Structures are given as C-alpha cells and as structure tokens.
Amino acid sequence: MTEELNRNSTARWRDLDVRHHLNPFSDYRTLKTRDGGSRIIVRGEGVHLYDSEGQQILDGMAGLWCVNLGYGREELARSAYDQMLELPYYNSFFKTATPPTVELAEKLAELAPGDLDYVFYGSSGSESNDSVVRMARFYWQKAGKPEKSNFISRTYAYHGSTMASASLGGMKPMQQGYGLPLEGFHHVTPPYWYDFGGDLSPEEFGLQAARAVEEKILELGPETVAAFIGEPIMGAGGVLMPPESYWPEVQRICRKYDVLLVADEVICGFGRTGHMFGSERFGIEPDMMTLAKGITSGYLPLSAVMVSAHIAGKLIEQGGEFAHGYTYSGHPAACAVALANISLLEQEDLVRRTHEETGPHLKARLQELLDHPLVGEVRSEGLIGAVELVKDKQARSRWDDKSTAGQICRDHCFASNIILRAVRDTMVFSPPLIIEMSQIDQLVDGLRASLDRTAAELGRA
C-alpha cells in the first residue's frame, strides 16, 4: 500500500514538473518530452539523498558544491527555527541591523585572510558578484579614478547567472544570444594546463596564463581596469587547478597596475580545498572575496562580499550613499544558520580533516584510476577533484563531440545511484566534507565501474 502511494506520488510530482516547472539550466524539449520530468529527491541524511522511489543516492557533488556539512543536520534546522520565532525577518537598510547579521560579520572578518574586515550581504553567489561590480566601480569613483570600470575574468569561469555575473563568467553558451557579456567585461585564457598547456611545464604555463592578465590590462589601459576576478580553483568550468606559479604572479600584476584582486570563493570557501579559503591555499590576499554555498551548507540562501579595510575605509572617509542592496541582505535567519554552520565546521575540525585525512585519501584513490584506458589525468585538492576522460592519453586528445564521454559516464554514475557531474569530458566532484573514508572508496569504485561501462559503450573496453 505504501509502495503504491509512493509510486503514485512519484508519477504525480513528475507530471507536475513536466506541466508547470521550468528547471534551471535544462533543455526543456528533452526534459519535458523525452525524459518525462525530473528525478524527485525527497530526503537527505549525511552524504545520502533519497528519491521518491526510495533509492539511496551517494551525493558526490554536495548538492551544487554547497552541502558541506551534509544533509539532515538538526543543529542547523534548529538555528533557523529559533531565529524565525525570535525575529524571522528584518532588513539592514535605513540605519538598522539585527544581532545575527552583525555577529556573523564579526566571525567572517575573523576568519577571512588579510584585512578583509567588512561584509556586504546577498542571498546568492550571483548577487554577491553583482555587488562586487557595483562596489568596485563605486570605490574607484570615491578614489578619484572613475574611469577604472573594466573587469577582467577568464574563459570557463563561472561567477553566476545574473546579467553582470554571467558577464564576469566565461561560459559562451550563457552569453551568446543573451546580449552578453555586457560592455566592460573582458576574458583571458584560464590556467588549464591539461587542455591548453601544450609542451610547457605546468609552472611555465601558469606564468604564461598569468601574463595573459597583464597583457589584457595593458591592452585596455591600466587606468581603465577596475578589477580582476577569479575562482581560486575554477569549479563549474571543470575543476581547473592553477599551477602553483599562477596566483602569486596574478597578485603581483594586479598590485603593479592598481587593479583590485577579487577572489570568488563561492565554491572554495569554508574548507572545500582543505583550507578555510582557497586564497589561503594559493597564498593570496584579495581586496574582495565573494562567499556563498558553504557559508550555510546550502540550508538557507546567503552570500557575502568580504571587503578589505582599505576599500571600506575609503568609502567611509569619502561618504555618499552606496545605492545598492537587496531585501534579504543580511537575512537574520540565514545569518543564524551561517553562524551555527561555521561553529559546527570548527567543532568537527572539518577543515583540518579535509586537509590531512579525507583529502589525501581521495587523492590516493584517484591516482589508481590512471591505469584506466579513458583516464588522462586526475587532480584534487581537499575534497574537490576532477578526472579527465581522453581518447588518446599521449596526445591528451578528446573525441570530436566534446561532451559525449562525460555525459555517458555521468549517466552511468547516476544510474548506479552516485551523483557526479560532467563538464565537457571532465568528471568533477565535491562531496560533503563530512564524508567517511569508506564512502570515498564507494565514490571512486563507483566511478571506475562507470568508466568501464563508458569505455565499453565507446568501443574502448
């Protein structure tokens, strides 16, 4: 009887999904006519999701790189509940603030590298990157250099889906046909050694990719460039790990030309790389830093721009209204969840554990995949990683259709109840930071089984 009800519910939800729901980043013809709607996820516990058919799924992506503390954390639910009873909402406009908003600001200032002492809140990574664009331009006006308004970013970057954040991003399909990028947004080559490094060593290539930033600054004129923005490790673009030489050189170049350095830590922040922030991993001190996702482990929407004391100081000294903000900037319930989330991250020692235990275990297990005929490279840092699928390992060459192998492998993983993601022909993953060693084994073993099936399908077994 229960089974019957469940089956009915699944059919009903899928039908509603088909008839009324426009899912983000979806091909509506495929999803609504061929696939007959979406898989319905009804519950989560630890690293596992459960669908409406009762299948247990290992979530190797932590949702969308965000559920760092795993599913079903009562402490986080309770922090939202308590705050909602006390004060569910009030804004931070017009000379008001709420206790969780300012207490979280203090905590973030304490955690963030360098002099990133101030916080401007939003509800999503996209919003915070839009806030960076507005704030950087506002800052340069206040600093007496209003012509500094251009932004430089990278091909394959992902900074969000709003008009400005998608302009900062370097995803062609998000821009072509949508009137993007907006004016003033420029892109340079990403530090993707595996695809673009050719015969150079990773370190040589890292310097070359950093120099592309300098060339772009000189081409535009340093007096017109407001900021360079980059994810410490590029996530949605394929988990692209920069060579060690890259970030220090980019920082040196930004300082030389008085260009603000902005780190998009939406994925890397809060322990993902085995460091609290990716900027620490790569030894940089950005002028601004965007945070989201892991800030609440995705339990409520929240994001932040961390702003350095020298930038905020100029805005305070010069005065004039910063005409920008959101209804939910500093939402008290979301901030309360973030405080509880960070406190658990610390209590459970998850950043150190990622750095010293689970991260190294994942790295060691991934190395074993290198003997597979489809695997050209494996890379990981903490609990974010990637596996490159290639046609010819020696030549590092791909198939003609650049997303076939990845899609096939992703579908095999999904069919065996493991969620990984394919970016072109790169398999990427970022499991919850609470993942156990045995669950990492399960993830990598599951990936190998899916790689075998993919190889068979491509006639490469």
Nearest to 206 by CA among 258, 251, 259: 251
CB atoms within 10 A of CB 420: 26
Check residue 126 for interaction with ligand PMP (CB under 6 A): yes
* Tokens representing residue 343 in the block: 């406190």
The answer to whether residue 238 forms part of the interface with ligand PMP (CB under 6 A) is: no
- Residue 454's contacts (CB-CB under 8 Å, 6 or more residues apart) are 374, 389, 405, 408, 409, 412
CB contact at 8 A, 227 and 250: no
CA distance linking residue 445 with residue 427, whole number of Å: 14
Which CB, 342 or 408, lies closer to ligand PMP? 342
Q: Taking CB positions, which residue lies at the least distance from ligand PMP?
A: 125
Q: Does 231 bind ligand PMP (CB under 6 A)?
A: yes
Q: Any contact of residue 307 with ligand PMP (CB under 6 A)?
A: no
Instruction: Please state, in angstroms and rounded to a whole number, the distance separating the CA atoms of residues 342 and 335.
Output: 11
State in angstroms the smallest separation of the CB of 231 from ligand PMP: 5
Which is nearer to ligand PMP, 236 or 434 (by Cβ)?
A: 236
124 binds ligand PMP (CB under 6 A): yes
The answer to whether residue 181 forms part of the interface with ligand PMP (CB under 6 A) is no
Say if CB 403 and CB 202 are below 8 A apart.
Answer: no
Say whether residue 130 binds ligand PMP (CB under 6 A).
Answer: no
Using CA atoms, how far apart are residues 73 and 343, in angstroms rounded to an integer? 13
125 binds ligand PMP (CB under 6 A): yes
Closest CA to 143 of 306, 321, 288, 316: 316
Q: What are phi and psi of 108, to 5 degrees?
A: -65, -40
* Gap between the Cα atoms of 265 and 68, Å rounded: 14
Does residue 264 interact with ligand PMP by CB under 6 A? yes
Structure tokens belonging to residue 255: 């300082």
**CA angle, 87 then 118 then 84, to 5°:** 10
Task: Please pick, from the candidates 49, 104, 250, 266, the single residue that binds ligand PMP as defined by CB under 6 A.
Answer: 266
When the beta carbons of 124 and 380 are compared against ligand PMP, the nearer one is 124
CB nearer to ligand PMP: pick between 58 and 384: 384
Cα within 13 Å of Cα(311), Cβ side: 31
Specify the residue, 192 or 408, whose C-beta has the smaller distance to ligand PMP.
Answer: 192
Angle at which helices 359-367 and 437-457 cross, to 10°: 30
Residue among 10 and 429 whose Cβ is closer to ligand PMP: 429
Minimum distance, C-beta of residue 128 to ligand PMP, in the bound complex (Å)? 8
Alpha carbon of residue 166 to chain centroid:
14
Which member of 73, 142, 159, 275 binds ligand PMP (CB under 6 A)? 159
Nearer to ligand PMP, 264 or 287 (CB): 264
Q: Per CB under 6 A, does 381 bind ligand PMP?
A: no
Rule CB under 6 A: choose which of 212, 254, 292, 383 binds ligand PMP: 292
Stretch that binds ligand PMP, among 5-13, 31-39, 125-133, 214-222 (CB under 6 A): 125-133
Binding of ligand PMP at residue 163 (CB under 6 A)? no
The binding site for ligand PMP (CB under 6 A) comprises 64, 124-126, 129, 158-161, 231, 235-236, 264, 266-267, 292
